[in-house]
Amino acid sequence: MSRIKICFDRLETQGRKALIPYVTAGDPAPQVTVPLLHAMVEAGADILELGIPFSDPMADGPTIQLACERALLHNTSIIDVLAMVKTFREQDQETPIVLMGYLNPIEMTGYERFVELASDAGVDGVLTVDLPPEESTAFVSLLNEKDMDAIYLLAPTTEESRVSEVCRQGSGYVYYVSVKGVTGSAELDVDEVAAKVAMIRKHTNLRIGVGFGIRDAASARAISAVSDGAIVGSVLVNQIAALADTPDQIPAAVAAIVKDMRTAMDA
Amino acid sequence: MPTSNDLAKLKQLPDASGHFGPYGGRFVSETLIAALQDLERTYEKLWRDPDFQAEFDRDLAHYVGRPSPLYFAERLTDHVGGAKIFLKREDLNHTGAHKVNNTIGQALLAKHTGKPRIIAETGAGQHGVASATVAARLGLECQVYMGIDDVERQKLNVYRMKLLGATVIPVESGTRTLKDAMNEAMRDWVTNVDNTFYIIGTAAGPHPYPKLVRDFQSIIGREARSQCLEQTGRLPDALVACVGGGSNAIGLFHPFIEDESVRMIGVEAGGDGVETGRHAAPLTVGRPGVLHGNRTYLMADEGGQIQGTHSISAGLDYPGVGPEHSWLKDCGRAEYTAATDDEAMDAFRLLTRIEGIMPALESSHAVAHAMKLAKEMDKDQIIVVNLSGRGDKDIHTVAEIDGIKV
């Protein structure tokens, strides 16, 4: 059983919801990432989404584009990202890690080699933004053979007839993109999200995480109340950007935001 | 070389899921899937609809000015001393390039879907101008994304778009050229997918774009094929076209796929020379990967990051290429090579001086290679070059090289 399922099962028995922070690996410098991941777990993160930097992050807004650019200034490669996960695992064997990114770095590494390395590093799931289920059969079987989950996106535009098909290929959780737009863009409509999540539940038993547009403790609480978990990215990455010149302060500052959200969600 | 049976199958691609062999496909985030499925349904229905075809043909005849001539460049042929060089004069189309064939088609699709707003990406500005033009004609709102470096080197086209009522949005992210404009247009589309039609300018992107752009551009090859038969009594021996994303090339090539005797040669931007790394020639020296919604040859480093490109011509300055070209290359049905900035400039000057035709710097790459090729061929052989656009937009670039302020 994957760490992700174990994590959600445990949260469910505790009557809590998952807090899933996202940061881009290597932003603003490679040595920041592992301490940052530990700090976020300490502050109450349940699952970590770690971004693989890409030169052309088409589905992301300016915040995460710039994070990719900062990471790529140090040439943070997919191999480096896997090494970070491996280092993280030396101290933490429990917290699930989901790699999130775009297909080309994985494709250039080679599916088999990537899956081998990711499994060896202790990765639990992979979310490839530009790899919808129709194109990913081969990749998903490789992931599943190594007990890793393929995490898929569902969007406000996803037709109901498609939801079960997407969820059938996925495992771990599905990531519901709460707004039409890029990361960090629009305002959330909690009622609309609640209705969509209810619709998705009719078609799958997978846990449903919701992301895009959660920017503070109140919205994390509101979203997690109507789903199984809140996924938070741009607000953390903005904090990283603000402290890019004093990277030592980043883990504590980001952890403080995570902690606020945790407190609000558990209240 | 594939057999004639293989060629017939090759011509039928993409398959139902939008693939050309391993290339093409639909590699986009979930938010866009429904819009692409919608577009595919709309397109497949309308493309078979005689009323839509009649409307498209009427616009091409009376608005674009088709058919474009196939012109025997006699002085160029004499100068080179080899095969006869014919020019397919897409530069004479309304707005000055082949791009309008596609924007007319996609704007008609937009009209049928009832979306009031169109967006486009542009490199040299020709596709932006063509999009702004059809938007003006149909009364649609139009926003064009353009890399800020291209805004600088294609000032004339930027102003044309503004006069046509479009908003030009300079893109400052990434390498600030065509690929970044395409990223930004995709981001806009994800955000405004309900009311916006994205007119992609080249035969690339997620399915069904490579197919529908090719179909709209295939008028070039269909005309060239019958014009060549009419004027010379035979098919050409070789077709030559420049390849950035590859829409003018696939438009010329596709109707000839089953004509085994016809060589098809795409000419990429060699920049400073492919050996220098400063170029935009993914088919010549790149490798397969995934960008902008399709699997295709790309310029990427070993970690999968997309590399910066260089070309004197903004329209070819792109690290990917349409997926059908990738498959035609792997199948051996088409060949791909590159011409450098300098070779393109020489061709630009020569064609201007001895034929009185000023080609776009993009098209000058095709002319440059055709001249090399003609020398190796017999005098009774025929080359058809796609003169995909006119060079007026490039006068600033050329003047700058000459040290002249226009």
Query: For residue A103, which residues of chain B lie inside 8 Å, CB to CB?
Result: 27, 290
Closest Cα in chain B, distance from residue A78 (Å): 7
Please count the structural domains in chain A: 1
- Report CA Rg, chain A: 17
Same domain, yes or no: B269 and B333: yes
Per-residue pLDDT, B152: 87
Using the Cβ of A93 and the Cβ atoms of chain B, whether some distance falls under 8 Å is answered with no
**Closest by Cα among B233, B236, B212 to B224:** B236
Same domain, yes or no: B228 and B137: no
Q: What is the ipTM of this complex?
A: 0.95
Using the Cβ of A83 and the Cβ atoms of chain B, whether some distance falls under 8 Å is answered with no
Active site residue B121: yes
Mean pLDDT score across all residues of chain B: 96
Same domain, yes or no: B381 and B280: yes
Q: Which of A61, A107, A135 sits opposite B304 (nearest CB)?
A: A107
In sequence order, what are the residues at sequence separation of 6 or more whose Cβ sits closer than 8 angstroms to the Cβ of residue A194?
Answer: A226
CA-based torsion, A99, A102, A105, A106: positive or negative: positive
Average pLDDT over residues B109-133: 94
Same domain, yes or no: B244 and B107: no
Same domain, yes or no: B141 and B290: no
Using the Cβ of A250 and the Cβ atoms of chain B, whether some distance falls under 8 Å is answered with no
Interface test mutation site (partner B, options A157, A158, A169, A183, max chain B beta carbons within 10 A): A157
Using the Cβ of A138 and the Cβ atoms of chain B, whether some distance falls under 8 Å is answered with no
Instruction: Please tell me which residue in A46, A60, A149, A228 is annotated as part of the active site.
Output: A60
Contact present, B390 and B359 (Cβ < 8 Å) = yes
| CA A126/CA A170 separation, integer angstroms | 10
Query: For residue B305, which residues of chain A lie inside 8 Å, CB to CB?
Result: 53-55, 72, 104-105
Burial call A140-174: b when 16+ CB within 10 Å, e when fewer:
bebbeeeebbbbbbbbbbbeeebbeebbebbbbbb
Q: Could you give the dihedral angle defined by the CA atoms of residues A96, A100, A105 and A109, in that order, rounded to the nearest 10 degrees?
A: 20
Q: Which of A54, A166, A185 sits opposite B305 (nearest CB)?
A: A54
Please count the structural domains in chain B: 2
B255-313 residue pLDDT tens: 999 999 999 999 999 999 999 999 999 999 999 999 999 999 999 999 999 999 999 99
Same domain, yes or no: B267 and B197: no
Residue B25 lies in a domain: yes
Contact present, B327 and B352 (Cβ < 8 Å) = no
Query: Is B304's CB within 8 Å of A108's CB?
Result: yes
**Closest by Cα among A242, A189, A199, A247 to A219:** A189
- Report CA Rg, chain B: 19
Q: Is residue B22 scored above 80 in pLDDT?
A: yes
Q: Is residue A237 scored above 90 in pLDDT?
A: yes
Burial call B325-337: b when 16+ CB within 10 Å, e when fewer:
bbbbbbbebbebb
Same domain, yes or no: B238 and B371: yes
Give the angle A249-A254-A259 at the CA atoms, nearest 5°: 130
Residue B7 lies in a domain: no
Same domain, yes or no: B190 and B239: no
CATH number at residue A96: 3.20.20.70
Which runs of consecutive H residues, i.e. helices, occur in A170-205?
190-201
Query: For residue B31, which residues of chain A lie inside 8 Å, CB to CB?
Result: 59, 153, 155-157, 177, 180-181
Q: Which of B190, B289, B291 sits opposite A59 (nearest CB)?
A: B190
Question: Between residues A54 and A213, which one has the greater pLDDT?
Answer: A54
Residue B331 lies in a domain: yes
Q: Is residue A179 scored above 80 in pLDDT?
A: yes
Query: Is B303's CB within 8 Å of A78's CB?
Result: yes
B85-97 residue pLDDT tens: 999 999 999 999 9
Per-residue pLDDT, B96: 95
Same domain, yes or no: B207 and B254: no
Same domain, yes or no: B116 and B226: no
B346-378 residue pLDDT tens: 999 999 999 999 999 999 999 999 999 999 999
Instruction: Please tell me which residue in B84, B99, B179, B393 is annotated as part of the active site.
Output: B99
Indicate the residue among B168, B189, B213 that finishes a domain. B213
Question: Which positions in chain B have a beta carbon within 8 angstroms of at least one beta carbon in chain A?
Answer: 17, 25-35, 173-174, 179-180, 183, 186-187, 190-194, 287-293, 295, 298, 300, 302-306
Indicate the residue among B213, B239, B262 that finishes a domain. B213
Determine how β-strand A48-51 pairs with β-strand A18-24.
Answer: parallel
Residue B13 lies in a domain: no
Per-residue pLDDT, B27: 98
Active site residue B99: yes
Residue B8 lies in a domain: no
Query: Is B174's CB within 8 Å of A72's CB?
Result: no
B177-214 residue pLDDT tens: 899 999 999 999 989 989 999 999 999 999 999 999 99
Active site residue A149: no
- The residue of chain B nearest to residue A166, with distances taken between CA atoms, is B30
pLDDT band at residue B1 under the 50/70/90 scheme: low
Q: Which of A105, A157, A177 sits opposite B303 (nearest CB)?
A: A105
Residue B347 lies in a domain: yes
Closest Cα in chain A, distance from residue B191 (Å): 4
Using the Cβ of A153 and the Cβ atoms of chain B, whether some distance falls under 8 Å is answered with yes
Q: Which of A56, A77, A130 sits opposite B28 (nearest CB)?
A: A130
CA-based torsion, A105, A110, A115, A121: positive or negative: negative
Residue B159 lies in a domain: yes
Per-residue pLDDT, A1: 64
Query: Is B291's CB within 8 Å of A153's CB?
Result: no
CATH number at residue B362: 3.40.50.1100
| CA B328/CA B285 separation, integer angstroms | 16
Domain span at A93: 3-266
Domain span at B331: 67-96+219-401
CA-based torsion, B166, B170, B175, B180: positive or negative: negative
Determine how β-strand B117-122 pairs with β-strand B263-271.
Answer: unpaired
Query: For residue A152, which residues of chain B lie inside 8 Å, CB to CB?
Result: 30
Indicate the residue among B179, B213, B247 that finishes a domain. B213
pLDDT cut 90: percent of chain A above it: 93
